[in-house]
Amino acid sequence: MKYISTRGQGEPKDFQGVLLAGLAEDGGLYVPESLPQFSADKISSLKGLPYNELAFEIIKPFVGGTIADDKLQQMINDSYGSFSHKAVAPLQQLDANQWVMELFHGPTLAFKDFALQLLGRLLDHVLTERNEKAVVLGATSGDTGSAAIEGCRHSEHLEIFILHPYQRVSEVQRRQMTTILDKNVHNIAIKGNFDDCQDMVKQCFADQSFLPENTRLVAVNSINWARIMAQIVYYFYAGLNLGTPEQAVSFSVPTGNFGDIFAGYIARGMGLPVDKLIVATNNNDILHRFFQNNDYRKESLHQTLSPSMDIMVSSNFERLLFDMHKRDGASMHELMDKFQKTGTIQVSDTAWQDIKSLFDSCRSDDQQVCETITELNANTAYLADPHTATGIRAVQELDLARETPVVTLATAHPVKFPEAIVKAGLNAPSLPHHMADLHDREERYDILENDLNILKDYIQNT
């Protein structure tokens, strides 16, 4: 398995190469040269496998022999052995043909644990083999940070710097990061929004000359292909539990950075029968505007009750655009340069109409999110977090659950967003036992101005 950049420059890399590189040297994102293909018979043979065994079957082709099978299997077993539910990604039925897949049973109560528990172990394994050290640099809109810290904090080969937008994540999300006091963990609150944090991370990757000699940056954001790879698994898991390959399944995905739903797109490309992929967004609706009107244009960022989706520029969308431009790296380079200057992207009508045969979208504001949480709880006794609520409302708004089973990805535990739950007229849930003292724990983080040079100086001097 080889990986190429969406912007067409540089030599193809193997899995270990893209794991450590994160962002491509030309500023693009790595994607496989070709996808492994799973026939209907192969998919049928996977029925009934426990989550960790299914994960090995799905992930192994992407690793391409760069890690021994027994080592890879052990890392997968360890990653999902820490989850609190035996099913790892359990399905809960809401209606006759409507389901939620709970992706919040990992140690930090969010779907990011599926990728980052494994990513931390993969990085530690490869760096140990190479006798190297690295600096993890990431930006978070809420959940990636705590999951990355939890996955990497015990590594002797990694120093971790996580940027979050100051006063723009929930208190539980912030404390999950800032109460981890390991010496190799550094939390930074940037006086700006998530896009500012993400932009600084990308600039640091583009020019790493500020780092000490023999030190490299490693990405834990979903620009790192290993994140996408790990998320493909739960699409197969849901499909297999709902009748795949005989039965196609649709998915409604709360998404801001497009990584989670792009994993579903890859699963379909591998052979999983997927009928529709629904992009569920909040007021920050750049993806919704694209899929409805071919209008991908930067606008002002809004602070909402679903802060993990308070993102204006969706990094992983470039991977889909690459396919929409027939994998022409030169065209993508020109397109992304233009976007950098103008803040807008529009694709050909033919490419847009073609992709709309698979994708649809729905936008929900805070009031609609709260109404969905309230109504769902009244009708089913199910308590959804505000991100999951955008996905559930999308299924209702688009009237999807008629012939094809529809699975909404429940991306986070509602305990992480008490403000939204209370605004929906319900009682805020209690923290789980292992986090019961979270509000009493000591916090440690630094607040920095939104300035790239200040950030680089901070990393140099820490």
Q: For residue 96, give Cα distances in angstroms to 93, 279, 295, 417.
A: 8, 22, 35, 28
60 is annotated as an active-site residue: no
What is the per-residue pLDDT for 397?
94
The first and second tokens of residue 301, run together, are 């960022």
CA 338, chain centre distance (Å):
26
Domain residue extents for the chain: 89-110+232-423
What is the per-residue pLDDT for 15?
97
**CATH fold for the domain made of 89-110+232-423:** Rossmann fold (3.40.50)
Q: DSSP E strands: which ranges in 293-402?
A: 296-297, 344-345, 359-363
Q: What is the pTM of this model?
A: 0.94
Half-sphere exposure for 39 (CA within 13 Å, toward CB): 3
What is the per-residue pLDDT for 75?
97
Sequential DSSP letters for 329-357: HHHHHHHHHHHHHHSEE---HHHHHHHHT
pLDDT tens, position by position, for the chain (462 residues)? 999 999 999 899 999 999 998 889 899 999 999 999 999 999 999 999 999 999 999 999 999 999 999 999 999 999 999 899 999 999 999 999 999 999 999 999 999 999 999 999 999 999 999 998 899 999 998 788 999 999 999 888 999 999 999 999 999 999 999 999 999 999 999 999 988 998 999 899 889 999 988 788 998 888 899 999 999 999 999 999 999 999 999 999 999 999 999 999 999 999 999 999 999 999 999 999 999 999 999 999 999 999 999 998 898 999 999 999 999 999 999 999 999 999 999 999 999 999 999 999 999 999 999 999 999 999 999 999 999 999 999 999 998 878 799 999 999 999 999 999 999 999 999 998 889 999 999 999 999 999 999 999 999 998
Residue in 13, 112, 202, 416 annotated catalytic: 112
Q: In this structure, are residues 28 and 5 in contact, taking their beta carbons and an 8 Å threshold? A: yes
